[in-house]
Chains A and B, each alone.
Chain A
Amino acid sequence: MKLSSPMEIWKYLPGTNCGECGEKTCLAFASHLKERSTRLEECTPLFEDEKYADKGKQLAELLAPEIREIEIGVGARAAKIGGEDVMYRHELTFYNRTALAYDVWDTMKEGELRERVSRIANWRKFYVGEFLTLDAIAVRSVSGDAQTFAACVNAVAEETDLPLVLCSFDAKVLEEGLKVVAGKNPLLYAADKTNWKDVLELVKSYNVPVTLFSPDLDMLNSLALTFSSAGVEDIVLDPGVYPTGEGLADTFSRFVRIRRVGIEEGDKEVAYPLMSVPMTAWMIHGDALDASYWEAVLAAIGIIKYADIMILHSIEPHSLIAERTLVENVYTDPRRPVSVEPGLREVGTPTEHSPLFLTTNFALTYYTVESDLSSNKIDSYLIVVDSEGMGVEAAVAGEQLTAERIKETLESYGAEKRVKHKTLVIPGLAARLSGETEDVTGWTVLVGPRDSGRIPGWMDDNWPPK
């Protein structure tokens, strides 16, 4: 965005402190706009009252992110990509997470195709209170035949409402695919230095987002300038991913430099979302396992350094779990608190005979333990020690989790009144504290498993205590 402080934003707001946006003052609303934690549309007078209309329009332009935000797909699973404002996540936050698209191809047998689409569309993994899912499907034209491609796109669209990326360098093939899913806002891949005229015509008549491909950055810039001059603004840039050697080092450099121009130098010609294609790893590895690791390596580089959407091939669990978790980590808002409130929580409907587990107040640790207990339906108490936001292992090492602090916590939250057995289960990673904790608190201490995911099995052998 072009404005550098809440005061500068405030100048464009009505200044009436009307409270329509939910904030007490326009200045408070302005600071939320600066942090991108609210939307301009919340200021209804700005858009409904004639006299603010000009200011409203100007402000919307000034607040627009440095990197254009575009949407692919339609409906609940549509994906926004781009919209970034910073080079480093700690400067604000990265905004729209890297969309992960996994491929299918038009030479697949229909049964296999449908099965693969459904695996991609239905994949999920629990992580910190929610389920992670995948974002898109890339349909590749391997046959080169337009009708074959169209049939494949049709089968995919019947199977899922995930956004699609239609992949071919042949405009005729792309068009047949587009006809099938014209209303579903697919991303086209790709226009390059040879086919750009035909693809431009397609993009204009179907009004869909398009990827421009060229590892030569002058050419890529030229393509982007040409398309935007023709009125096309939903552009994604693919500077090419070379999977090895000097090519890979150059690939890294291209992504960083394009994003630098867009964000730091405010050059709008290339300020578009970037696409990375880690699946080029498969072109140099014969062994599927090796290829999946190298593909994940290329994906990690892209996720961390500025790819807004990527196309991948391996849908094996080890690939999906690692790639999607990394996206979540890099795109989590760093302003989110590290810790939860200490205290005594109830999981399910515990009684005075239920176990009492102890954990720390590092948010990730807490949510993991809480979900392991609740998803396995273990009625219990969970006492959360203030470890200054440290996880168990680190807190034991750094002495933020000590027998003394456990004692204070048990006392201040009245643990003794909740359970009759006066038995405390501490994490396996805090085993070192068990003796001292017994001495200091007078409670019986049981050492639980090193990972709370093993609590169900541990319960079978250890609860109720003998």
Chain B
Amino acid sequence: MPSSGKFLAAATAAFLAFTSLPASAAQILVLSEDVPAGLDSDGPSAAIPTSQSGMVNMLEPLVGYAAASVKEDGVIMPDFSKPVGLLAESWTYDPAALTWTFKLREGVKGCTGDTFTSADVIYTFARAKSVSGAAPIGWFLSNVASIKGFTTDVFGKDSKAKELGDGIVALDDYTVQIKQSQPNALLLPVLAIFGLQIFDKKIMEAHATAQDPWSHDYGNTVNAPGFGSYCLDSWQKGQSISYKANTNYYRGKPAIDKVVVRRVPESSNRVAVLRTGQAQLVTGLTPKEFDSLRSIAGITVEGVTGNQNLFEHMNFKSPPFDNPKVREAVSHAIPYDQIIATGYFGQATIWQGFVPSGYPGYVPSAKDFIYDPAKAKALLAEAGFPDGKGLEKFVDNLQLSYVSEKESTLGPIVNILQSSFRAIGIPVTLNPIPGTQYGDRQLVKGDLPFAVNDQEEPIGVDVGYAVQLFFVTKDKGGLYNMVNYSNSKVDDLWTKARVEPDANVRNQLLAEIQDQLAADVAWAPIVEYKTQWAMSSKLTGLRWYADNSIRFFDLTLR
């Protein structure tokens, strides 16, 4: 008996020595509004940014973007014109055959030591095409990029359509071919998105069951095994998640050995704990809180104009917003500078377009969106509502909706807007509604008449993608189009741009679309606000990605 006790003690000691970190190991505590609710990129929580933050640190995409030569506010920015290989080392494209041939990186190892091969890529795409998850995001991205076979047929009765087919084939262990059904510039952009990051086939298949052959339950509740820079250490949903460095990571072992992310719902507590030095990085503060931390010694606040913005949503099917003069009047009644100063504490710029200004192909609008209440009043009169007379019959549609959970950020802004609109005679009332209800009315029902929206961040870095999301008529291939905008000129231009192989010609078409959107006041862009983080000054190396999630691999702790 004593010997077995000794053995147990020795085994425990060995286990502890193996699992606990050496005293010198770098670790950081991150405080966030939430931790991942799931880690399956086709799972029910995949649309939640805090869930994506887990996926992007544990899984690796085939491609990414090179770093731009100039940093913004200390943050490394991507150069979207230079896609670079991550799990794919290089690629060639044969325009005649619409075929991309990817040479995969050799010697890449996952958290358990599995070697990455083409089988993992094939598995990931086959899983996406099976549309077996709650939200078929992998299929959606492949469909947007015209990957052969990823059509809406997968949702039909024919089970054959859900099989991978010959759209993506492995030529050998390290070569994969992807075919497109038509020329489409979106292939590389979608491959950089979290929804098409590559799973470790071996581990995923080991957790498959008869009811769940693609291991969605495993991804949603246990782990997301891949080839990323971090491995899951522990995860308690709604509380915390911790990651440990993938020592096998092909770009080198991460500088920080362990990252603990803790959910702290009260943003003022995230601020307080950061200030005491017990946490090293916090996310999701209000602009005011970020501003208050700017002057604190030992804390750095960094922010970039990435893809976050604020705009006025006006539904084309809801009078009086079907009237272009009314929409234009609204755009001139927005006190842009006041919103930047009061709502964002200076950390925003007037937005003169319809896609993020940092995206290649962005064209600022020829029409100036400026604050001019006299012009707004004149336009309102031209529209048939002098001093707002006649608008009282649209009171329901003049409720300015916004997401109630964002009250601390949007509250001051909607109040400014309300006073400003009332000043020119538009009888606006405020209507805070829960985020889910907002999403339902915005995306599914499409019946939100009037709203402020600060949450549309096109994750695919491409003007064509953003236009398809927001402005193309739904039966012409549009996806969200929450304002029910429909202009056949825009639809035609987009249809041409979608298959246009020449990048210059395509950009010209997309520029014409942007001009048309401005002429129609498809929505009233307000500001692009900075994506901000507050952290210990000892932490450096932050890099911005279009999904607005941090890759802990980029960080170094001095």
Does B bind A? no
